[in-house]
A and B are shown apart, each in its own frame.
Chain A
Amino acid sequence: MMTNPANKPRRHFLGRTGAGTALLALAPGVKLVDLTLAKDEDEPASDETRWGLLVDADRCTTGCRACVSACEEEHALAKTSRTQLDPQWIRKVDLVDESNDRSVSIPLMCQHCEDPPCVEVCPTGASFKRADGMVLVDKHTCIGCRYCMMACPFNARSFVHEEVTGQKSYSPRGKGTVESCTLCVHRVDNDRTPACVESCAVDGHGALTFGDLNDSESTVSKTVRSQPHRELRPDLGLNTGVRYRGV
């Protein structure tokens, strides 16, 4: 009844690469079109892209929770009667350097690792990494075992303990499954930035930069190349998609 979508991206990719080569041959050094075109809605995510987020701790303010609120509103993360068990997709964490009392405040969410431990331990394949680097949960196959929550070194995942109502159409959520930051995949697939990034910019802090780490022209990749930054727990060798400056 339906065609196999797995065959499609390859043809697209070959076609696009051919077009890119032809353009380069016609006009060397002249960039006529941006080769990282926006994704069509019926086109699968491509591994040529690696979505990433850069957090600038120097611009993030202690006490500001704009990103957290924006995330809660975007994904309808309503408070329940057991607030200590409420899912948290972003947490604000304050770090203090005891040697000089310097303190920084950072948002901590799923770090979208290249080698995610949560994917490795998932017994059903519900925890997975998309081709473009987003680490997600397929709630259709999640059995709520919470192995991924134990495996995550960043404590980034939450379990939904209570019945959920009032979900947004683009962000299905339900009791008995594990969830975490999706990098607002529904927005990114429509050429928009994640809700937290938008709210941080609106608030005037601009501490969050989102973009394609594989695109040498993107702001995030330029900043990552030119300025000192780090991943959290670099000792684990996870090659996270979320990076921090000033931590």
Chain B
Amino acid sequence: MTQRLAIVSLMILSFSASSIADVTLPSYPKGKGKYCVEPTDVMRRDHFEYLMHHRQISVHLGVRSKRHSLVGCVDCHASQADDGTYISVNEPGQFCRSCHVYTAVKIDCFSCHAAVPDAVVKQ
């Protein structure tokens, strides 16, 4: 009995260890600046709450504060390729996509919203 228990627990252990090793953890380029608009753990847990709230007050009421706007997220978190062009935050391995693939949450923000900052028009 003890021997059987030991084999089963060994199997469970080895199984869980191998599945952890198979999972690719999110990895993405670092954003601009030192800090995000809220602490990292708060943003990881609640960023969609902030975005949802901001979308409501900006679209319907006309509040244009930048702190929790999606445009602000993209401005800081879109990385640049070697030639200076911006890479979409929705590309594989980029800020939004890498975590959303990991958590299997499909977002459709970027079917309408720009996923790169606006190009600076030279005067």
A168 to B118, CA, bound (A): 6
Interface presence of A175 (CB below 8 A): yes
A172 to B71, CA, bound (A): 10
Interface presence of A222 (CB below 8 A): no
Contact B112 A45 (CB under 8 A): no
Contact B53 A174 (CB under 8 A): no
Interface presence of B64 (CB below 8 A): yes
A84 to B36, CA, bound (A): 45
Interface presence of A97 (CB below 8 A): no
Contact A172 B57 (CB under 8 A): no
Interface of chain B: mostly helix, strand, loop or mixed:
helix
* Binary flags per residue of A107-148, CB closer than 8 Å to B gives 1, else 0: 000000000000000000000101110001011100000000
Within the complex, the shortest CB–CB distance from A223 to chain B, in Å, comes to: 25
Contact B112 A130 (CB under 8 A): no
A164 to B114, CA, bound (A): 10
Interface presence of B31 (CB below 8 A): no
Given contacts A2-B53, A5-B57, A169-B74, contact A189 B62 (CB under 8 A): yes
Contact B60 A43 (CB under 8 A): no
Contact A168 B46 (CB under 8 A): no
Interface of chain A: mostly helix, strand, loop or mixed:
loop
Contact A168 B65 (CB under 8 A): no
* A177 CB contact (under 8 Å) in B53, B62, B64, B112: B112
Number of interface residues of A (CB under 8 A): 32
Within the complex, the shortest CB–CB distance from A8 to chain B, in Å, comes to: 9
Within the complex, the shortest CB–CB distance from B47 to chain A, in Å, comes to: 12
Contact B63 A43 (CB under 8 A): yes
Give the bracket for the number of chain B residues in contact with chain A.
20 to 34
* A185 CB contact (under 8 Å) in B50, B62, B114: B62
Interface presence of B111 (CB below 8 A): yes
Interface presence of A173 (CB below 8 A): yes
Interface presence of B117 (CB below 8 A): yes
Given contacts A2-B53, A140-B59, contact A167 B64 (CB under 8 A): no
Beta-carbon nearest neighbor of B115 in chain A: A167
Q: Which residues of B contact A206 (CB under 8 A)?
A: none
Q: Which residues of A contact B49 (CB under 8 A)?
A: 1-2
* Binary flags per residue of A37-54, CB closer than 8 Å to B gives 1, else 0: 001011111000000000
Interface presence of A80 (CB below 8 A): no
* A169 CB contact (under 8 Å) in B57, B59, B113: B113
